[in-house]
Amino acid sequence: MIKIAVLGAGVNGLTCALKVKEKYPNFDVTLFSDKFTPDTTGDGSGGLWYPYLCGNTSQEQLMKWGGETYVFLHDLWYQGGNHISVMPMYELYRKKRETQRPLWADLVFGFRELDMRQLDYLSRMHSINYAAGRTFTTFVIQAPKLMEYLYMRYNRLKGKVVNAKLASLSDPILHNFQVVINCTGLSARDIVPDSRVFPIRGQIARVKAPWLNYTIIDEDSGHYIIPNDAICVLGGTHQENDYRTEIDDSNTEFILDGCRQMIPGLEHAELMKHWAGLRPGRDAVRLEAEERDGKIYIHNYGHGGSGLTLFWGCGNNVLQLLEKHLSSIKPTTTNSKL
C-alpha cells in the first residue's frame, strides 16, 4: 500500500489530495490540517483569477499553472451551478507606463491593451484619470463553494481527512507515510522550515452590490472591486511581514473611501462583513520534490495572492512529480489506524 500524506487543507492541499486519489484510487491518501473550509485563507479571498503577488515566479510557470487553472474554471463555469462568474477585468494605472505583455495573455479570452478612447471612458465613469491599462475576461469564484465541490469529489473516493497540527515534516504522525505533499502555505515557514516564506496581510470588505458585473483593479492606489454571484469584495491591503488578523479601522477607511471614489454607488451598498487574512508570500512559488530521510517530499507553497489562480495547474505538476518518483517508493506492509 502506498501511503500519501497531504499537509494543508487550503485549495492547493485539497486539490493535490483529490488529484492523487483520482489518479490512484487504491493509494491511501490522508489530508492533514488544523484549519478547513470555510476557515482557510483562500475561503476569505476575493476569488479572482489573476496572477498576483507571486514574487519572481517565472512567466513560463505562471502561464502553465495559471493557464491550466483558467481552463478548469472555464469548464466548471460552462457546466453551471458551481458559483463561478465570468466577467471583464480592468487593470488600470493612473500614471502612464509601458506594461509588458505577460505570457499568460495568450491563454485568456480578450486580452488587450486599452487605447485612449477606452481609458477616457473609464476615467469619466470612475472619476479618476487613468493613463494606462489592460483588460481581459476572467473568472471570479465563491471560494467556499469551490471547496465544497472539491471535497465532494474527494469524499466520493473515500479520501481521508485528519484534524491535526503538525510541528515539522518529521512529525511522528507522518512516520508510516512514504510520500508527503507539503501545501502548508504560510506555515511552511516553521514546518519546513523555510525562512523565505512571509505573510502578506490582506484586509477586505464584503458588500451587497448586485448591479456590478465587472472587476476593476487600480494598481496605483491598491484598491480593487471584485463582484461574484452573491456579494462584492472591496479591497484591499498587501502588507508584507504583518501578522495581524484583526480588523484595522484605518485600513477599513482606506478601502471603503477608495472604492467609493471609484464607484460612488457603493456608498449605498449594504456592508456584510470585514475580513483580514495572511497570504503565504515567498520570493517565488516553491514546487519541487526532494528525498529526505527515506521519504519523498513534494513541496507546493508560496503562492502569495494567487492560490486560486494557480491551484489546478500546480496540482497537475505535483501529480507529475509523484509519478516520476513512484518507482523508488516501497509499499508499506504495516497497518495504521489512520
The greatest distance separating any two alpha carbons of the chain, rounded to the nearest whole angstrom, comes to 69
Tally of CB atoms within 10 A around 60: 10
Does 309 show up as a binding residue in the annotation? yes
DSSP string of 88-118?
EEEEEESS--PPPPPGGGGGSEEEEE--HHH
Binding site annotation covers 306? yes
Instruction: List the grid coordinates of 261.
Output: 471614489
Alpha helices (runs of H) in 114-263, residue ranges in sequence order? 116-126, 143-156, 188-191, 249-262
Half-sphere exposure of 41 (CA within 13 A, CB side): 28
305 is in an annotated binding site: yes
Residue 329 identity (one-letter amino acid): I
Phi-psi region of 158 (alpha: psi -120 to 50; beta: other; left: phi over 0): left
Is 40 marked as binding a ligand? no
Spatial separation of the C-alpha atoms in residues 141 and 312, rounded to whole Å: 14
Q: Enter the C-alpha cell of residue 145.
A: 463553494
The DSSP result for 254-304, as a single string, is HHHHHHHHH-GGGGGSEEEEEEEEEEEE-SS-EEEEEEETTEEEEEEE--T
Contact between residue 233 and residue 272 where contact means Cβ atoms under 8 Å apart = no
Is residue 205 classed as helix, strand or coil in its secondary structure? strand
- Is residue 307 part of an annotated ligand binding site? yes
Tell me the pairing of strands 109-113 and 132-141: antiparallel
- b/e per residue 279-289 (b: at least 16 CB within 10 A): bbbbeebbbeb
Burial 158-174 (b: 16+ CB within 10 A, else e): ebbbeeeebeebebebb
Q: Using CA atoms, how far apart are residues 219 and 9, in angstroms rounded to an integer?
A: 31
**Binding residue positions for FAD:** 184, 304-309
Summarize the annotated binding site as residue ranges. 184, 224, 279, 304-309
Q: Which residues are annotated as a binding site for D-dopa?
A: 224, 279, 305
